[in-house]
Amino acid sequence: MSLVSSLFLVFVAAVLLLYYVLPKSFRLWVVIAASLAFAGFLGFYTLLFVLVSAVLCYVGGLLSGPSKSNAARNAATIITVVINIALLCCIKYYNVLGLAAGRLNLLFGATENSNTFFLYAVPVGMSFYVLQTTGYILDCRWEKITPEKNFLKVLLFSTYFPQLMSGPMNTYANLSAEFEKAKEVKFSFERISDGAVRVAWGFFKKLVIADRAAMTVNQIFGDHVNFTGWYVPIGVLFFAIQLYCDFSGCMEVVIGVSHMLGIELPENFNCPFFAKTVREYWRRWHITLGGWLRDYLMYPLLKSAPLIKIGDWAKAKFGKKNGKKVPTYIALLILWFAVGYWHGGLWNYVIGSGILHFIYIVLGMIFEPLSKKIRPKIGADKLYFRIFQSVRTFILMLTGFVFFRSATVMDAVDMYAAIFRRGAALNWANFSSSGMDLSNLIVLVIAVLILAAVDAYKYVPGEDDQPKSMIAFLRSKGIVVLWVAFMFLTVATLVFGMYGLGYDSGSFIYARI
């Protein structure tokens, strides 16, 4: 069931009806039933692995709790976390196993040279809920929370249907508090209308912008012979637009639906393309993944005995100031390798979503002292320099997107080489052959300008500050303005959205990660 389908809207409407009509004591039961039904709609194996992960989460939390000895707690934590992550790696990233993947397919009844079993067995959203449940087990071990003894509450935390496919990731402390608060939430027309506008905005981003840009992206990335020279940066630019609107559009739908239920989820995007540095970009893009990796990978690594020993050695060897940076660089390398591997398990993802960003961030840290000296002399506080920083950061992001979108590392390298090859001339006739005719281009440009205007309003310079709410702004102008915006988005999506018979909208990109 796609989040941008009429079936999903009917499903949400039915859930909302039961949620608010039945007594409040039934609400969490409604959400649990809806979550399991939604997982079932996504496929038998999705439902199966969601339940397996929930059981591991529950058992691991109980066995890692303070009532056991330290040795038993450590053993329980290690075993359950390893099993959880191993399931993710073996099932989600089985293609990297090469010959072993083929043997596994045959074992489960697939025919020779086919990927029948694992192609369809890969559970939707597994990369997200496995990390979330792993975080729960670690929180229990570190005594940040008390292990939950009610399995149904852990089940709901593990399977909550709006965020099951693509996040945003959450902690048990935050999400369980929202579930408790939701028991007393009263039906509110304002709450439903605010959520509906966010859902409509998400549909608009996905169907009007992302899937329209995808036509040109698919053609240019799929043909490095004809689409060369300037077509390459155009294709990468269109992919940046596609990916942002695809993933952030998904988040709009997810957060909007959850808001209607009175359950608030964390924001996952904060105007990332306005970021002035790569480090800031990752504080604005996929925010909850960054927070998870910081809390459950980066900080534990820095506190680990091996890195502490390396830090002591480096301080003695290179001096205290430079030596203390060595363990940070090592931890960052591990973190960014994990980020890249999480995105797909292949080297093009490891490079494009991981190692490149590690290099950019470390270089930024190395040259930061020099940058601080230069900034006052070049007017770093001026608007033109801030624009330069954002454009520079955006271009650096595009270099990684080439690897992210390409099928393999060599495919990405050939994409770069195509910039310097002669192919089809850059003219309208050739460009339109990429799938983008004049009418589609006009719609895309207008839609992207609307998106840019919304993000410009929401943008706040502080990277950790919450973005301004466009819905609050519209509501402040009156309910009529809010509903005009809703009707505009709805009509625009119905008229200009990429859907219908003969068109495969496909799933959200990050739901396939």
- Residue 383: the pLDDT is 85
Cα separation, 234 vs 240, whole angstroms = 10
Q: Tell whether 481 is covered by a domain.
A: yes
Q: Choose among 205, 234, 237: nearest CA to 434.
A: 234
- Residue 382: the pLDDT is 85
Q: What's CA 389's distance to the chain center, in Å?
A: 24
Q: Tell whether 295 is covered by a domain.
A: no
Average pLDDT over the chain, rounded to an integer: 88
Residues 133 and 214 in one domain: no
* Residue 116 scores a pLDDT above 60: no
- Residue 216: the pLDDT is 93
Tell me the average pLDDT across 368-394. 87
Query: Encoding tokens for residue 464?
Result: 């950790």
**Helix/strand/coil for 441:** helix
* Residue 65 scores a pLDDT above 90: no
- Residue 112: the pLDDT is 47
Q: Which amino acid is at 49?
A: F
- Residue 121: the pLDDT is 52
Q: Using N-to-C axis directions, what is the helix angle for 231-260 and 189-203, rounded to 10°?
A: 160
Q: Tell whether 371 is covered by a domain.
A: no
Residues 104 and 237 in one domain: no
Residues 221 and 178 in one domain: no
Q: Tell whether 391 is covered by a domain.
A: no
* Residue 444 scores a pLDDT above 90: yes
User: 169, 187, 205: which is the final residue of a domain?
Assistant: 187
Lowest mean pLDDT among 137-146, 290-299, 304-313, 426-435: 426-435
Domain count, the chain: 2
Tell me the average pLDDT across 436-460. 94
Residues 28 and 158 in one domain: yes
Residues 28 and 93 in one domain: yes
Q: What is the DSSP string of 57-97?
A: HHHHHHHHSTTS-HHHHHHHHHHHHHHHHHHIIIIITGGGG
Residues 172 and 47 in one domain: yes
Residues 178 and 227 in one domain: no
| pLDDT digits 0-9 by tens, 229-268 | 999 999 999 999 999 999 999 999 999 999 999 999 999 9
Residues 157 and 210 in one domain: no
pLDDT band at 30 (very low <50, low <70, confident <90, very high): very high
pLDDT band at 275 (very low <50, low <70, confident <90, very high): very high
Residues 415 and 468 in one domain: yes
The pTM score is: 0.91
Q: Tell whether 348 is covered by a domain.
A: no
| pLDDT digits 0-9 by tens, 148-169 | 999 999 999 999 999 998 889 9
pLDDT band at 512 (very low <50, low <70, confident <90, very high): low
* Residue appearing with tokens 């470390």: 362
- Residue 111: the pLDDT is 47
pLDDT band at 120 (very low <50, low <70, confident <90, very high): very low
Residues 160 and 179 in one domain: yes
Contacts of 384 (CB under 8 A, 6+ apart): none
**Helix/strand/coil for 96:** helix
| pLDDT digits 0-9 by tens, 86-115 | 888 777 665 554 444 454 444 444 444 444
Q: Tell whether 350 is covered by a domain.
A: no
Lowest mean pLDDT among 79-93, 140-154, 304-318: 79-93
- Residue 225: the pLDDT is 84
* Residue 206 scores a pLDDT above 90: yes
Residues 494 and 456 in one domain: yes
Tell me the average pLDDT across 138-152. 95
- Residue 463: the pLDDT is 73
Q: Tell whether 241 is covered by a domain.
A: yes
Residues 70 and 211 in one domain: no
Cα separation, 456 vs 435, whole angstroms = 29
- Residue 110: the pLDDT is 46
- Residue 513: the pLDDT is 61
- Residue 94: the pLDDT is 57
Q: Tell whether 323 is covered by a domain.
A: no
Q: Which amino acid is at 50?
A: V
What domain range is 67 assigned to?
6-187
User: 187, 214, 248: which is the final residue of a domain?
Assistant: 187
Tell me the average pLDDT across 306-317. 92
* Residue 499 scores a pLDDT above 80: no
Tell me the average pLDDT across 205-215. 95
User: 145, 171, 187: which is the final residue of a domain?
Assistant: 187
